[in-house]
Structure 1
Amino acid sequence: MSRLKQFFVAFIPVTMLSASGCATHTIKQNGPMLEFVMQIPEAKSVVLATSYDDFVHHPVQRNKDNIWSITLHMPLATQPIRYFTVIDGIPILPECPLREPDGFGGYNCLYELKYTIAENGS
């Protein structure tokens, strides 16, 4: 079992029960660019992982108003994008209207793209 799978099997079930809904977020799409904006004022570090790049952890930046955001370029994305956050080292599923089981006892949020490769032409 890979290190990533071991991590999720050990931590996701517990954290999803205790921390689900702790992060408020929005997603803005502009073509192949997705901006994730999160309101988590008490957080010291935030990471975003998406299915687009096999759940690589991307550090999210905090602005002076304690708003965390990251913009990811996803030109070859297919429907839907699966994602979750890691807040202060703990995987946490933000509140999201669409979600699905992640295969490790927890869930991933889903984001339905507003375009497809064929529609966008890139």
Structure 2
Amino acid sequence: MKKLLPAGVLLILILSGCAGKSHYTLLEEGAATLYLKAPKAQKVELVSSSSNYQPIRAKKGKKGVWSVEVPAHRTFEYFYLVDGEAFTPPCLLSRPDGFGGKTCIFDPAQ
């Protein structure tokens, strides 16, 4: 069964825009697909603690929505590289990254 972000949260993320980028997650059977709308991007990568911070290349889909699937058996931290620049989208859970920014926290129980 699919688990989506509540509609109100998704609306807030979309309206916040963040320079034309919006972000959402789909959780299904132990895997999370993370989506980032970045229509002008040439390359998007997910950097997460689940992959020992090795970038995972996202696939570009329709209307500039990029996606990447990762295992979702436990909590992990993440951010994106959009054309080589670090980008942390608006997210429900986050923490300081130690470099003056923040990283998102994915919790499969949320």
The two structures have a TM-score, normalised by structure 2, of 0.75
Deviates more, 1:82-91 or 1:23-32: 23-32
**Contact 1:21–1:94 (8 Å) recurs in 2:** yes
Indicate the residue corresponding to 1:112 in structure 2: 107
What is the CA deviation profile of residues 16-72 of structure 1, one whole-angstrom value per residue up to 9, with x for unaligned ones? xxxx93321111111221101111111111000111121110011102432111112
Larger Rg: 1
Instruction: Describe the SS at the equivalent of 1:52.
Output: helix
In the alignment, what sits opposite 2:23?
A: 25
Indicate the structure with greater helix content. Answer: 1
Listed as ranges, the gaps of 5+ residues in structure 2 are 1-16
Report deviation, 1:91: 0.5
Runs of 4+ in 1 over 6 A off after TM superposition: none
Q: Partner of 1:99 in structure 2? A: 94
- 1:15 corresponds to which residue? none
**Relative contact order: is structure 1 or structure 2 higher (C-alpha 8 Å, sep ≥ 6)?**
1
For residue 82 of structure 2, the aligned residue among 87, 97, 114 is: 87
Residues paired across the two proteins, number: 93
Distance 1:31 1:114, change over 3 A: farther
**Could you state the TM-score of these two structures normalised by the residue count of structure 1?**
0.68
Bigger fraction of residues in strand: 2
In structure 1, the residue matched to 2:37 is 39
- Among all aligned residue pairs of Structure 1 and Structure 2, give the percentage whose two residues are the same amino acid: 25
